[in-house]
Structure 1
Amino acid sequence: MAFEIIKQKFGELTEYVLQESESGNRCVIIPELGGIVRQLSLRKGLTLFSVIKTPPTPLSLQEDTKSASELLFPFASRIPDGQYTFLGKKYQLSKNETGRRNAIHGLVRKHPFKLEEQIVHPDFASIKLSFHLDNTEGYPFQVRFFVTYKLSADGKFTVSYSAINEGHEPCPVMFGWHPYFMLGNEDVDAWKIDIPSSQIVKFDDNMIPQGVAPFNEQLPMLLYKNELDNCFIINTESAAVTTRLISDNQHVTLNIEQETGEGKFNYLVLYTPPTRDCIAIEPLTGNVDAFNNGEGLNILAKGHTVDGTITVHLS
């Protein structure tokens, strides 16, 4: 098995391709556009599946408003009116959600990340990126954010993040990843999904949490004519849980595993866009509006770090 990392142009953008020659497994990363994963291809048997959907051209990718594959930090999902209170102080974020009045999906989207490290090993290839938040509008804290993408010989792709408080005061942090997954050319209606949760978050008309309800659907759940835009709570004593996206027609299952436990990925957002050719499966470390409700919010003291890992593979 031979791994390599190739640097190449995608329009005016520069991207890095991590790939393994024998299997054809590959991922494509764009550091200067929020450090996103533009492509991810994984093999099962004779078939190489493209499993992440992003806009197809450099311009459409730069102009994308649907957060395809974006890293969501220091908060994910919505903060109503962009306002939150932390340790008795009120803060105002920019209200950037299209058609609504909320702040959404953090402060690192579409910003250039710094390339920290590239590793090519007989058993894997990896790339590490960073972004420094320093007294950003509405978030007057100093936090260094890292993400490492790793493609391994066992066919697994991992997204590992960490964040360290480099300031003098405690700061709130939350992380999420926003990929749209697909399986070949099938539509969402051909798939089933196994959701590792028995509790669903109730939303108001502004998609802000208003409590919790039991989630009693029979699993795996058919996605046929089923529209999802929901957040689920992960309650488990295990170190990780897996969301499974199942195509019976193609005899393949996409597994998205998220670390669980204190400070880890204990929430999950699922969304089926109107195109119904993909599904967003978004592991989160906190609930929607965690900056206000505190549910899953990590509070970092000076010099402290938080981290977690998401793993994607086919079976």
Structure 2
Amino acid sequence: MSAEYSLKAGGYEAVVTERAAALRVLQFEGRDLVVPFPEGGPIPDYRGIIAAPWPNRIADGRYTFDGVTHQLAVSEPERGTALHGLAYPLDWALKEHDAGSVTLTCTVGPTEGYPFVVDLTAHYALSDSGLHCAVTAHNAADVAAPYGVCPHPYLVAGSSPLDEWILEAPVGAFLEVTPDRLLPVSLASVDGHEFDFRAARAIGTTEIDHAFTDVTFDGGLARLSLRDPAGTGVGMSWDESCRWLQIHTAEKPAPIPSRIGLAVEPMTCPPDAFNSGTDLIRLEPGATHTASWSIYSL
């Protein structure tokens, strides 16, 4: 069974697993802020994981970097893509743990399709203002490495159905994608579109599994809010390292429970960035990169 680490501070409680450095539980005063998953079992739907060294999808698992073509394992065979990086199935090593924080580390690569070596450190800390997470990547090899990262929490506003939750998201454009493989086609404005949540409104029956950009940052942070009409809510903020945001309304075929949480994933780059190069981080030998985000009760 994978080890896990409990955190408590300021009315918040969290549980982080060594498997994928995943956020298994986050509660405020006993109320779930993310969709949890059972202790000791598999992680369903990538809940709470750290997706690195790439977020989202790479078409056909194939990309070219510095003139060399690489072939990754296709981990999402139904769409023919490599999904959510290499850190997900790994057990991360414990570096530090106290009552309110935990730091975990792992190394990705060299492996099939990713002949690079990137050391990852995930630091989770609770305070009166919520859960704060930072992921730092360090290139431990002597060649540059392509890199991207995102968290994968499913936020929970309250006990009402997701259709009734009120979303406010500071994003002005989204990537249109192919319906079968969810791969990027073109960038479009949210103006006049059902994906425009710049002003808070109910999600309704809208189905979303798209990457957004044109993010509004205020004081170096972007802020998303998700509220239940019953009065509870959850917020998420992230720094300017993440200029993309994946939102997914978590549709599932019956009899699997559907739309039980809203996946909110601040990303450093869009889907298939290993091919497009859009906002792809080129991590030079010895260089580091840090991305951070927070989740809190409203």
TM-score, L = length of structure 1: 0.86
- What residue is the counterpart of 1:211 in the other structure? 186
Is the Cα–Cα contact under 8 Å of residues 76 and 105 in structure 1 kept in the other structure?
A: yes
- What residue is the counterpart of 1:245 in the other structure? 226
- What residue is the counterpart of 2:162 in the other structure? 188
* CA distance in 2: counterparts of 1:213 and 1:96, whole angstroms: 28
Matched, 1:164 2:138: yes
Matched, 1:293 2:293: no
Classify 1:104/1:155 alpha carbon distance in 2 versus 1 (closer, same or farther; 3 Å): same
Is the Cα–Cα contact under 8 Å of residues 187 and 278 in structure 1 kept in the other structure?
A: no
* CA distance in 1: counterparts of 2:34 and 2:149, whole angstroms: 19
Matched, 1:277 2:277: no
Is the Cα–Cα contact under 8 Å of residues 53 and 179 in structure 1 kept in the other structure?
A: yes
Pairwise CA distance, 1:190: 1.7
Is the Cα–Cα contact under 8 Å of residues 215 and 222 in structure 2 kept in the other structure?
A: no
TM-score, L = length of structure 2: 0.91
- What residue is the counterpart of 1:28 in the other structure? 15
Percent of matched pairs sharing the same residue: 26
- Name stretches of at least 5 consecutive residues in structure 2 with no aligned partner: 252-257
Is the Cα–Cα contact under 8 Å of residues 4 and 15 in structure 2 kept in the other structure?
A: yes
Pairwise CA distance, 1:197: 0.8
Could you report, residue by residue, the CA deviation over 1:148-190 in whole angstroms, capped at 9, with x for unpaired residues?
00001x2310110100111001111100111111133322012
| Counterpart AA for 2:207 | E
| Counterpart AA for 1:78 | R
Classify 1:55/1:236 alpha carbon distance in 2 versus 1 (closer, same or farther; 3 Å): closer
Q: How many residues align?
A: 285
| Counterpart AA for 2:201 | M
- What residue is the counterpart of 2:52 in the other structure? 73
* CA distance in 2: counterparts of 1:285 and 1:243, whole angstroms: 16
* CA distance in 2: counterparts of 1:110 and 1:137, whole angstroms: 15
Instruction: Find runs of 4+ consecutive structure 1 residues off by over 6 angstroms.
Output: none
- What residue is the counterpart of 1:7 in the other structure? none
More strand by proportion, 1 or 2?
1
Is the Cα–Cα contact under 8 Å of residues 39 and 52 in structure 1 kept in the other structure?
A: yes
* CA distance in 1: counterparts of 2:233 and 2:217, whole angstroms: 24
Pairwise CA distance, 1:73: 0.3
* CA distance in 2: counterparts of 1:146 and 1:207, whole angstroms: 29
- Name stretches of at least 5 consecutive residues in structure 1 with no aligned partner: 1-11
* CA RMSD, Structure 1 to Structure 2 (Å): 1.5
- What residue is the counterpart of 1:305 in the other structure? 288
Is the Cα–Cα contact under 8 Å of residues 254 and 312 in structure 1 kept in the other structure?
A: yes
